[in-house]
Chains A and B, each alone.
Chain A
């Protein structure tokens, strides 16, 4: 009897799972046609974080209950993962660089893989991981010591493991790879260690490097003229990207120049830092760039995940790109040409009078760091940081988690720096926090940035947004509230207290015809559904 029962359990388990999660490139391209799955970091290549699932609605969302929870054995860092869900299997990451496959029905662990990490160098960043890419029968993850690894999706076995860059120099990776047709791209962090920013592309099958783009020039190259004679450094590519399969362009943001808060020795615009790069992935060349914050001294990386959408501007249908920048401005660009279309602040900012007709900031005097500390909005951590926004093609709204917070920016006196070391005495911030700061979920008209509604948060959050066809927007708070808002009005419809800070982008998926919502809080991974 016992053996029979065991066999039955095995049979049921096997029946509940697909034979093998096969995700050919075309499946990711057409991911909007199968909303049960969440096939890439941003939900689709456009990075919209919009789900076509409609089961959860403003009318029934208040009935959400916890379906399951998963807790890593001993996570060594902040949990900031955003999962990929394929045919009933959820691929999550755990800090610093572990990948785990979970049964999306139950939360049961199917396999887990961890790299062997020794003497990791992580300067100016948390040792965490934000997610994987899935292509064909492989799961791709980048590690904190700057490797890119291909794992077998069924077992977690290593297919290949390639060094992207030298971790001892300060290169470290927390962001998700981007997997497109036969290629896997990955950026790195390390601007605070003054590394030279790069973006690498590898052959998905073999792990062979196909190309590298340096985001800042070597001394003597033409762009070096924008660095005032100093050695260009920084401009790292540490967060998620977006991809337009038809235009065959990858959109990737770059971080701050180094050293950070004292730009005296790097006079000029410091190309291509704090910029968005549009890259032809076949040629490995930058087709166009748009620099948001020339000669940046506030640590306002342009690393936020871009969102691609099609909209109508002045009566003309346009291929657009929305970008809520850490510098507190929302930008709309033509994603074919990089031309500036519109832009305006989405959070308090005191450093620019506005944007000119080309989208360049009209910088106000005396808004840089000073030896005594200069109060400027937004703070170092920015009006948004690494979290992802969402866009609903139904409401045509862009949902952003805005951080209303200022800092006293301090200019350090020491401009000397060494690659791979945090520049001692370069400056930093004294942040206005607590009751002087707050957060908000804001709905912006995607083609202009005009605010349609906001939902105030007690403090600035580190949680992205998720929009659904059912008419909901999900997000969370730093105190640990996970909640759903009406996508049209911003009215709060449901909330639950999860007991610890939420630091992830929520996602939604469906198994056995039932819609679920995922988020993490503290070190626990939660899934909610209707009973």
Chain B
């Protein structure tokens, strides 16, 4: 139970806060929708820097307040709009009810441009053939797409919205080479995600896994089979953080160049519904 505790806390925090935030009544009742034209994003940047950056950092990567990178993708426009204009009771997040629905949409539109591992590469393969490669390579054993697959690795339903083709290609060839830094909406700074950790307990038990949670006294790992392991740091004889390594195998020698292009194209096409 202990290993999944932080996830429960994060989920409870989210559900406890959002309805309360939405119950605050903004001055402009129009529903908030992301506004993403270049002019909207430019104004969103000005509004963000004047209103939000003091707590969330100029790049929304977190400061006194949590990182907001990826928050619109996780929460959606309506919840983001509710939080921006209504605040989150019980936290330092004040409501900014003076922002109009359009202005709030511009701020969210600007936030959507930040923190992605988007890159110059445009996926050139065939997504349909990539889906076949995905299925034949055993990816679904560890990843869930639209409710199907195994949960040992991260869910990929919306991976195309969060990661660029070049990042996906690198990860397939050398997993762990680039680790994203993200913070969930209720979390604080940007911790390295999917960090590979090797621990040895004082009684000689050795465990490798992906870091799920860490604080000053405990660390929780998820192994290649998706099992959670909970450790007290003082009870470990070894704790090694190994960026560059991963529980995910490389597909360098199992996929042809064409299959790789197709798989990248398929993953890039996964933009998922909320």
Contacts and interface: CB of A to CB of B under 8 A. Distances in A.
A381 B190 CA distance: 16
Contacts of A457: 216
B54 interface: yes
A479 B58 contact: no
A381 B63 contact: yes
B90 interface: yes
Interface string B74-89: 0000000000000101
B137 interface: no
B189 A437 contact: yes
Contacts of B181: 434-435
Contacts of B64: 126, 381
Contacts of B67: 433
Interface string A54-90: 0000000000000000000011111100000000000
Interface in B30-67: 46, 49-51, 53-55, 57-59, 61-64, 67
Contacts of B49: 424-425, 428
A289 B58 CA distance: 34
Contact of B50 (A122, A126, A424, A501): A424
B91 interface: yes
| Most-contacted residue by chain A among B51, B54, B59 (CB, 10 A) | B54
A492 interface: yes
A429 B50 contact: no
A75 B13 contact: no
A11 B188 CA distance: 48
A126 B92 contact: yes
Contact of A379 (B54, B63, B216): B63
Contact of B54 (A76, A192, A408, A480): A192
Contacts, number: 116
Chain B interface SS verdict (over half): loop
Given A430-B58, A497-B215, A499-B9, A459 B92 contact: no
Contact of B61 (A128, A431, A499): A431
Contact of B189 (A77, A127, A433, A456): A433
A141 interface: no
A254 B123 CA distance: 55
Interface residues of A, number: 49
Interface string B182-225: 01000011111001000000000000000000111110000000
Nearest to A260: B54
Nearest to A475: B216
B215 A480 contact: yes
A500 B13 contact: yes
Nearest to B12: A499
Contact of B217 (A75, A495, A501): A495
A200 to B, nearest CB: 25
B215 A479 contact: yes
B25 to A, nearest CB: 14
Nearest to B55: A126
B61 A122 contact: no
Contact of B92 (A128, A431, A477): A128
B258 interface: no
A458 interface: yes
A84 to B, nearest CB: 23
A373 B58 CA distance: 10
B234 interface: yes
A522 interface: yes
Nearest to A441: B216
A301 B262 CA distance: 54
Nearest to B2: A497
A292 interface: no
| Most-contacted residue by chain B among A407, A424, A435, A457 (CB, 10 A) | A435
A483 B189 contact: no
A111 to B, nearest CB: 22
Contacts of A523: 90
Contacts of A379: 63
A77 B90 contact: yes
Interface in A400-425: 407-408, 410, 422, 424-425
Interface string B1-39: 000010001000100000010000000000000000000
Contacts of A458: 214-216
Contacts of B113: none
| Most-contacted residue by chain B among A77, A379, A407, A433 (CB, 10 A) | A433
B237 interface: no
Contacts of B218: 497
B190 A477 contact: no
A162 interface: no
Interface in A135-192: 192
Contacts of A481: 215-217
B132 interface: no
B146 interface: no
Interface string A326-342: 00000000000000000
A55 to B, nearest CB: 24
A404 B266 CA distance: 42
A497 B57 contact: no
Contact of B191 (A407, A425, A434, A497): A434
Contact of B188 (A408, A429, A501): A501
A522 B61 CA distance: 21
A124 B195 CA distance: 34
Contacts of B216: 456-458, 477, 479, 481, 483, 495
B222 to A, nearest CB: 17
A124 B61 contact: no
B153 to A, nearest CB: 20
A459 B63 contact: no
Contacts of A428: 49, 53-54, 57-58
| Most-contacted residue by chain B among A77, A127, A408, A424 (CB, 10 A) | A77
B54 A124 contact: yes
Given A379-B63, A428-B57, A127 B94 contact: yes
A425 B189 contact: no
A434 B58 contact: no
Interface string A463-485: 00000000000000111110100
Contacts of B50: 422, 424-425
A172 to B, nearest CB: 11
A133 interface: no
A380 interface: yes
Contacts of A459: 188-189
Contact of B234 (A435, A492, A497, A500): A492
18 contacts: A74-B90, A76-B87, A126-B64, A422-B51, A422-B54, A424-B49, A427-B58, A428-B54, A429-B57, A430-B57, A430-B59, A431-B62, A433-B183, A437-B189, A456-B216, A481-B217, A492-B234, A497-B215
Interface of B: 5, 9, 13, 20, 46, 49-51, 53-55, 57-59, 61-64, 67, 87, 89-92, 94, 181, 183, 188-192, 195, 214-218, 234
User: Which 4 pairs of residues, A with B, have the shortest CB-CB distance?
Assistant: A433-B189, A479-B215, A434-B191, A126-B92
Given A77-B92, A373-B58, A434-B183, 14 more contacts: A76-B89, A77-B90, A77-B94, A78-B92, A126-B64, A424-B46, A424-B49, A428-B57, A430-B61, A435-B195, A459-B189, A479-B216, A492-B217, A495-B216
